[in-house]
Amino acid sequence: MKKLFAVFPFALISFVMSCSTSPTEKPNPPAAQAIQLVEARDVHSFANPAQVRVKHVDLNLDVLFDRKVLKGSATLTIERRQADANELKLDTRDLKIFKAEISAKGDNFAATKFALGEADKILGAPLTVELPAQATKVRIEYETSPTASGVQWLQPAQTAGKQQPYVFTQSQAIHARSWIPLQDSPGVRVTYSATIRTPAGIRAVMSAEEEDGAPKLGEFQFNMPQAIPPYLIALAAGDIMFKPLGKRTGVYTEPAMMEKAAKELEDTEKMVEATEKLYGPYRWGRYDILVLPPSFPYGGMENPRLTFATPTILAGDKSLVSLIAHELAHSWSGNLVTNATWRDFWLNEGFTTYLERRIVEAVYGRDTEEMQAVLGRQTLEALLAKFDTRDQILHVNLDGRDPDDGSTEVPYEKGALLLRYLEETVGRDKFDQFLKSYFDAFAFQSITTPDFRAYLQKNLLDTNPQAAAKVSAELLDEWMEKPGLPASAPKPQSNAFGKVEAQAKSWLSGKAAAGLETKQWTTQEWLHFLNSLPAHLNEAQMKDLDQAFGMTKTGNAEIAHVWLLISIRSNYAPAFPRLEEYLTTIGRQKLIRPLYEELAKTPAGKQRAKAIFAKARAGYHPIAQASVGKIVL
Ligand code: BES
Ligand code: ZN
């Protein structure tokens, strides 16, 4: 761990100017004020980008399903920041390194010395490569471990088609290093290219454009010409087909899932258009979505050009497609303007949650949006009530901690509320203009919380003195650097939820469930209904709800999640088989972890949790195996 705190000279400064690139309907905003970016130190990387910086990654990999291994090479194009730098430091985790070579011109490679340092539990192991003065490229031959933290290998039985195996990567936050040796820091942007070889019948896709010039059987070529942070490099391979949705949007998934997926996601093109209208052009060419098997450990992952999504969003009524709005929004907040270190994660997720709601409002209307905003604030309040103060802070200190620990919903919901507060204070027009100029000013750059704050001060507060009077430095400190929520934080309101609460009340005072007015309720209304009930219900109450609404057998994964939570608390045995089925098929951490936590609260529940985990474990992603293991073992 010592190495974490080694001090590097970080004096590199780049100058950021705004450039208005896009034709818009609105008049051009006043030129944005430039601010100086100070390169941040990333405590979650061993790399030395201040001396030598990786600029391009060229992958050449075989997908070996029988061994659960990716094997091949990564050729890194480097740039010297210090003329006398004589070593390149990379991040790795559980990689087997066979060889390191260097080249001056990119044609002839010669072996060079390398050393793999001692592995840190959180960070993995540094790989130091000796660099002669003339080296411009470094080629590493390597293979991954079958238990690589960023790669999940699925048996055919875990897929929809049950015939072919499947593999996918998940690089955020610091798992790219478990399948590629590179400088795994969000401040080190790279372009990348890849050649991926797969067995017959297996298609590979990546977060990049696919090169279609004379493809060889079982060989796929990709290119990502825009510089991205390494956590956005992604690969999946399996029995995957494609269907277009709009002129630059489409869906990839297994054949058995295609019809359902394409129907549910049919508004994707509209979402892209709505976001462009708000925040300027979509700069990544195509926007496609890969719908994965259910063991995908997240709801969605904003891999550029190709969002990865859980099949649990396919509710049948589009009520969960705000997740697509969210991942799409990252094409501006996150992929275009990126958190420079993981303590700035809220710049990615808070902005994106705010944008997500704006997109939902534009495409599905304010009522739908406000329901989601109310649920968001409820989630936030529940977390603030139970978290240590350190985890309530947006600009969170993650020294010595795993950045995955910082990915609670606090940065999402508290960050989104801060932006909503700013919007309400300066007015929507001005705030929209400000955000658009922010995305232009920092496009393809990685920035820190102080960078954002400096930009906000110069380009929104200094230019709007009336509003600025309300947004003092103390208040901004309270939002970004302190636990809890400022008293002036916005409180979203939903009329629809008022009606839902009335139904919950009349049920609790004795009205039969079958007589409640629940027609046309969307997922959000059902969630709010269930959340409005007392923590424990009696057997008769559980039965009444179950018989009237088919709760235990609902195919909606979000509603089932809340129902199963209540069932555990209320010890409602008829739901237990479903609970086991749910936990052994779904791998999305946000849906399974709270269920294990609830089970673990009683000795009998903990036994059940252990037994279910023993069956489910092999089907979980390595990250989920570890996080659930912490709860039940
Ligand atoms: N980038 C995140 C997923 C992530 C965060 C992966 C941190 C690894 C570490 C993604 O954009 C996200 O936020 N997904 C959410 C869905 C969203 C609608 C809140 C999820 O997976 O639940
Ligand atoms: Zn996100």
- The 10s digit of each residue's pLDDT in 109-140 is 999 999 999 999 999 999 999 999 999 999 99
9-23, 225-239, 396-410: range with highest mean pLDDT: 225-239
- pLDDT of 12: 43
Tokens of 621: 């992603």
Can you name the residues that pair with 56 across neighbouring β-strands? 77, 191
- pLDDT of 6: 35
CA of 374 to the centre of ligand 2 (A): 18
Q: Each residue of 251-262: b (16+ CB within 10 Å) or e?
A: bbbbeebbeebb
- The 10s digit of each residue's pLDDT in 158-175 is 999 999 999 999 999 999
**CA 485: distance to chain centroid?**
24
- pLDDT of 20: 39
CA of 274 to the centre of ligand 1 (A): 21
**Is pLDDT of 21 > 90?**
no
Reported confidence tier of residue 255, pLDDT bands at 50, 70, 90: very high
The residue written with tokens 């923590």 in the block is 535
**Is pLDDT of 326 > 60?**
yes
Residue with more model confidence, 590 or 17: 590
Tell me which DSSP letter residue 487 carries. T
Query: Helix 589-599 crosses helix 557-569 at what angle (to 10 degrees)?
Result: 10
Q: Which of 87-96, 250-259, 400-409 is predicted least confidently?
A: 400-409
> Mean pLDDT of all residues in the chain?
94
Nearest ligand to the CA of 345 is 1
Q: What percent of the chain has pLDDT over 90?
A: 92
**Residue 590 CA: which ligand 1 atom is closest?**
22
- The 10s digit of each residue's pLDDT in 345-401 is 999 999 999 999 999 999 999 999 999 999 999 999 999 999 999 999 999 999 999
CA of 348 to the centre of ligand 2 (A): 7
> Which residues, 6 or more positions from 466, have their beta carbon under 8 angstroms from its beta carbon?
none
Please calculate the CA angle 582-583-586 and round it to the nearest 5 degrees.
Answer: 75
CA torsion angle 596 600 601 603 (round to 10)? 150
Single-letter amino acid, residue 108: N
Nearest ligand to the CA of 347 is 2
SS3 116: strand
Q: How far apart are the first and last CA of the chain?
A: 26
- pLDDT of 217: 87
CA 500 – CA 530 distance, rounded (Å): 10
Residue with more model confidence, 369 or 22: 369
- pLDDT of 29: 54
- The 10s digit of each residue's pLDDT in 198-223 is 999 999 999 999 998 767 889 999 99
The residues carrying an active-site annotation are 327, 412
The residue written with tokens 């942070």 in the block is 229
CA 588 – CA 147 distance, rounded (Å): 18
- The DSSP annotation for 188-199 comes to S-EEEEEEEE--
**Is pLDDT of 23 > 60?**
no
CA of 326 to the centre of ligand 2 (A): 6
Residue 48 host element (H or E): none
Contact 592, 624 (CB under 8 A): yes
Reported confidence tier of residue 343, pLDDT bands at 50, 70, 90: very high
Q: Which of 541, 64, 442 is nearest to 227 (CA)?
A: 442
Cβ-in-10-Å burial (0-12, 13-18, 19+) of 268 comes to buried
CA 345 – CA 438 distance, rounded (Å): 17
**Is pLDDT of 234 > 50?**
yes
- The 10s digit of each residue's pLDDT in 417-432 is 999 999 999 999 999 9
The pocket around ligand 1, CB under 6 angstroms, is made up of: 172-173, 298-302, 323, 326-327, 330, 349, 404, 407, 412, 590
Residue 64 host element (H or E): strand 52-64
Q: Which of 345, 379, 233, 236 is nearest to 295 (CA)?
A: 236
Q: Is the peptide bond before 513 cis (omega within 30 degrees of 0)?
A: no
- pLDDT of 33: 82
Residue nearest to atom 22 of ligand 1 (CA): 299
Contact 48, 188 (CB under 8 A): no
Tokens of 238: 């399996």
CA within 13 Å, CB half, 492 = 27
**Residue 327 CA: which ligand 1 atom is closest?**
11
Q: Which of 51-60, 127-136, 464-473, 536-545 is predicted least confidently?
A: 464-473
Domains of the chain: 10-40+265-481 (1.10.390.10), 52-184+190-228 (2.60.40.1730), 495-632 (1.25.40.320)
CA 610 – CA 633 distance, rounded (Å): 7
Tokens of 226: 């825009």
Contact 239, 159 (CB under 8 A): yes
Residue nearest to atom 1 of ligand 1 (CA): 301
Can you name the residues that pair with 190 across neighbouring β-strands? 228
CA 257 – CA 532 distance, rounded (Å): 34
Q: Which of 11-25, 211-225, 228-242, 470-484 is predicted least confidently?
A: 11-25
**Is pLDDT of 26 > 50?**
no
Tokens of 477: 């400190």
- pLDDT of 565: 98
**Residue 173 CA: which ligand 1 atom is closest?**
9
Alpha helices (H) along 310-464: 322-329, 345-364, 366-386, 410-426, 428-441, 449-456
Strands (E), 305-461: 306-309, 337-339, 445-447
CA 192 – CA 225 distance, rounded (Å): 7
CA 194 – CA 61 distance, rounded (Å): 8
CA 612 – CA 560 distance, rounded (Å): 17
Reported confidence tier of residue 30, pLDDT bands at 50, 70, 90: low
* Phi, psi of 247, deg, nearest 5: -70, -30
Single-letter amino acid, residue 489: A
Residue 512 host element (H or E): none
**Is pLDDT of 232 > 50?**
yes
